[in-house]
């Protein structure tokens, strides 16, 4: 099973939810060979609830996943921490909704939760927990005490970073994961569909529950794949993203259909 473990359902955090754009993302993921993905939407994105409510209400469920436009979707969330850095959480629909509500209740209106409070809170839930793009500027995950880093279940090999930071990012992520004895999962960090396929994971078996996902990850019977054209895919997606955001600012709509039918 080809699975992308870091994706988004919107073009940008501050934009409204668009059914058309989100549906098109999943349709284009399917066209690009993505069989499953983790929808790790930013916890503080505009219309977060609408995204998951739409998926929950319109698509069939299998285990902990939803079958959306032919793609198996694991619910997830991307959470900021006070120290600077992002964290990926993958779980069931009910778990992700409950966890987000708990985080919002506990954090202040001006500051994110510090890792010492956030990480134990996250691991109270039945989730898979990862450190996102740890070598990106402004991300300080690796500067945390080792007892906090130990909470992570995996490290994110990020498609955007592979495109922007270059091939050395691969070796750096693999080395830090080996140091902490954690697996690596590849996630494209897609906000615009051209980025799908920049990186992916090829698992030997299919799965549809968090328990099975965790087991397969720890068994390690999968391959992390980096597309040779990762830089071009990321650059193209970023250019389209900028154009669509500018279109929205000028009174148009960012969900303008671009795909060739």
Per-residue model confidence as pLDDT tens digits over 182-239 = 999 999 999 999 999 999 999 999 999 999 999 999 999 999 999 999 999 999 888 8
Q: Sorting pLDDT into bands at 50, 70 and 90, what band is 250?
A: confident
Mean pLDDT for the chain overall:
94
Phi then psi dihedrals of residue 65, to 5 deg: -115, 165
Task: Please state, in angstroms and rounded to a whole number, the distance separating the CA atoms of residues 247 and 256.
Answer: 9
Give the CA angle between residues 69, 70, 73 to the nearest 5°.
85
Domains of the chain, each with CATH number or no CATH: 2-249 (3.20.20.140)
- Torsion sign (Cα): 30, 134, 155, 112: negative
Rounded mean pLDDT of 156-170?
A: 96
89 contacts: CB under 8 Å, gap ≥ 6: 40, 76, 77, 78, 79, 96, 99, 122, 125, 127, 128, 129, 130
Rounded mean pLDDT of 136-153?
A: 98
Task: Please state, in angstroms and rounded to a whole number, the distance separating the CA atoms of residues 90 and 6.
Answer: 9
DSSP state of 227: -
As beta bridge partners, residue 156 has 185
Task: Please state, in angstroms and rounded to a whole number, the distance separating the CA atoms of residues 199 and 37.
Answer: 12
- Residues written for the chain: 261
Residue 252 has pLDDT above 70, yes or no: no
Q: Which helix (H) or strand (E) holds 168?
A: helix 168-179
pTM: 0.94
Instruction: Return the residue matching tokens 């140091």.
Output: 179
Task: Please state, in angstroms and rounded to a whole number, the distance separating the CA atoms of residues 222 and 229.
Answer: 21
Per-residue model confidence as pLDDT tens digits over 171-180 = 999 999 999 9
CA distances from 61 to 70, 100, 137, 143, 218 (A): 12, 21, 37, 39, 25
Q: Which of residues 98 and 241 earns the better pLDDT score? A: 98
**pLDDT score of 259:** 59
Tell me the chain's radius of gyration from C-alpha atoms: 17
Task: Please state, in angstroms and rounded to a whole number, the distance separating the CA atoms of residues 52 and 69.
Answer: 15
């Amino acid at each position: 099973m080809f699975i992308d473990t870091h994706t988004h359902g919107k073009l940008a955090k501050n934009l409204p939810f668009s059914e058309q754009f989100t549906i098109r993302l999943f349709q284009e993921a399917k066209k690009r060979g993505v069989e499953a993905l983790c929808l790790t939407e930013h916890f503080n994105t505009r219309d977060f609830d609408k995204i998951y409510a739409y998926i929950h209400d319109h698509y069939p469920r299998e285990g902990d996943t939803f079958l959306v436009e032919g793609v198996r979707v694991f619910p997830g969330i991307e959470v900021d921490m006070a120290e600077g850095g992002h964290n990926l959480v993958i779980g069931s629909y009910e778990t992700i909704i409950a966890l987000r509500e708990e985080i919002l209740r506990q954090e202040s209106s001006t500051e994110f939760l510090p890792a010492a409070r956030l990480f134990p809170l996250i691991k109270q839930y039945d989730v898979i927990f990862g450190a996102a793009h740890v070598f990106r500027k402004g991300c300080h995950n690796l500067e945390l005490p080792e007892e906090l880093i130990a909470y992570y279940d995996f490290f994110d090999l990020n498609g955007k970073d592979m495109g922007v930071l270059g091939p050395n990012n691969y070796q750096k992520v693999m080395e830090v994961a080996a140091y902490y004895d954690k697996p690596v999962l590849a996630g494209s960090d897609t906000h615009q569909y051209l980025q799908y396929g920049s990186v992916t994971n090829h698992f030997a078996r299919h799965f549809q529950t968090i328990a099975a996902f965790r087991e397969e990850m720890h068994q390690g019977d999968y391959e992390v794949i980096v597309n040779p054209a990762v830089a071009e895919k990321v650059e193209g997606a970023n250019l389209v993203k900028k154009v669509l955001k500018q279109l929205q600012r000028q009174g148009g709509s960012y969900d303008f259909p671009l795909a060739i039918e």
